[in-house]
Structure 1
C-alpha cells in the first residue's frame, strides 16, 4: 500500500490552503495524506539538509508518493534521488535553481549583507513577523546541484506561467532533459491557489492509485 506525503514550502505550514485542500481531496477518496510540519524549532539553523533528514525519518520502507510545494518540492526531489521506496513525486512550482532565484529576489546588496553579517531576517509566513536565518543555509544549499538529480522516478511538475518566485522556465529546462518528468502549465502564479481543482485533476490522472 502506498503512503502519501505532502511537503509544504519554506515558512509555510500544514495549515496552508493547498495542504488543507489536498488533505480533503484524499479524505474524500478514503485515503490519508501525511502533512508533516517542516518549520524547525531552530529557524536560525534551518537548512535543506535538516529538512531532508527530518522527512526521511518519517518515511516508511514501503512505497511512498510525495507531493511537494516550492521548497517542499526541492526536498521531495532529493529524497527521491536517494530513497528507492519513493515511487513517484508531484512537484508544485518546485524551488529548482533555488540559490540563483534567492539572490535575484533578495537583490545583490541584501545577499551580500547576508554573507557579510552571517544572518538575515526573513518573513516567516507560519508565524507573525520576521526570523533570522544563518548564512549557513546558503553554504549548505551549495552542495545540492540540480544537475545531479538523475534518478528516473515518475514525476509530475505543475507550474504557473505567471510565477515570479520560481520562473516556469526553470521547470521547463529541468524537464526537457528528463523524459520521465511530465510538466503541466497553468495560468497562475507561484501559489497556484486559483487552479487547485485543476491541480487535483492532474494529480489523479498521473497517479493510478487515486
Structure 2
C-alpha cells in the first residue's frame, strides 16, 4: 500500500518557505507526491495547534493508508502530536521541532508584553510568509499549553534533525525528548536524533537532511 506524505511548515511560515520548497522539489524529482497544506488557513490570527492537527488529519486519504509526516519547528511539534493521536501515522520526520517551545518563546517576550497580550487578546507577530506583522490571538498560548511532550508515548519510528546552533529551539529540547526520564520512567528508544552543524533554519544542510529522510522513509 502506498504511503501518503505530508509536510507541515513552521510558525508564521507558509508552504512557500525555503525548506518546504526544497523538500517539495526533491519529492517531485523522485515522482512521489508530497502534500504541503497551508496551516495559516487564511486566518493566521486564530492559529492554534489544535486547528493544525484537525486540518492535517482532514488531509489523510482514508483510515487505512499509512501516513508519513514531515514537520518543521512548530509543524514538527504538531506532527508529533498527530502521530500520538492517529494510528495511521506510521513515521515521523521532525526538523528542529518546537519541543518545550512556550518555555523558550514566552520569556523572550518579557512579562509586560505577555500581560498586555493576555489583556488585549492579540499581539502583533512578524509573519515570514506574508512579510508583515499580523495579530495573533492569545488563544494560541492557552491551546499550546495542553500539548506537552510527556503525552507523546506512542512508539512511532521518529527521525529528528536538529541544528547544534539553533537559536530558536535549543537542541537540548530534542535531546531531552529522546531520553525523557521524568516520571513515569520513560525513554524513547524509537527516536533517532541527528545533530547537524546548523541553526534553526537548517538552510546549509538541506542535502544532508534529504539523504537522511530518503534513507529513513525508504524512498527511491
TM normalised by structure 2 equals 0.92
Q: Whole-Å Cα distance in 1 between the matches of residues 46 and 29 of structure 2? A: 38
Instruction: Report Cα offsets for 1:169-210 as digits up to 9, x if no partner.
Output: 000000112110000000100000000000011111212244
SS in 1 for 2:19: helix
1:10-49 equivalence runs, <5 A: 10-49=11-50
Q: 1:105 offset after TM fit, Å?
A: 2.7
Extract unaligned runs of 5+ from structure 2.
Answer: 180-186
- 1:202 and 2:212 aligned: yes
Q: Whole-Å Cα distance in 2 between the matches of residues 46 and 40 of structure 1? A: 8
CA contact (8 A) 1:96 1:170 kept: yes
Of the candidates 139, 146, 161, which is equivalent to residue 149 of structure 2?
146
Most deviating of 120-129 and 110-119: 110-119
Of the candidates 106, 110, 117, which is equivalent to residue 109 of structure 2?
106
Most deviating of 164-173 and 16-25: 16-25
SS in 1 for 2:193: strand
Extract unaligned runs of 5+ from structure 1.
Answer: none
Q: Whole-Å Cα distance in 2 between the matches of residues 129 and 23 of structure 1? A: 25
Tell me what 1:182 maps to.
192
Runs (4+) of structure 1 exceeding 3 A deviation are none
TM normalised by structure 1 equals 0.96
SS in 1 for 2:189: coil
Paired residue total:
210
Q: Whole-Å Cα distance in 2 between the matches of residues 68 and 193 of structure 1? A: 15
Q: Whole-Å Cα distance in 2 between the matches of residues 26 and 142 of structure 1? A: 34
CA contact (8 A) 1:105 1:165 kept: no
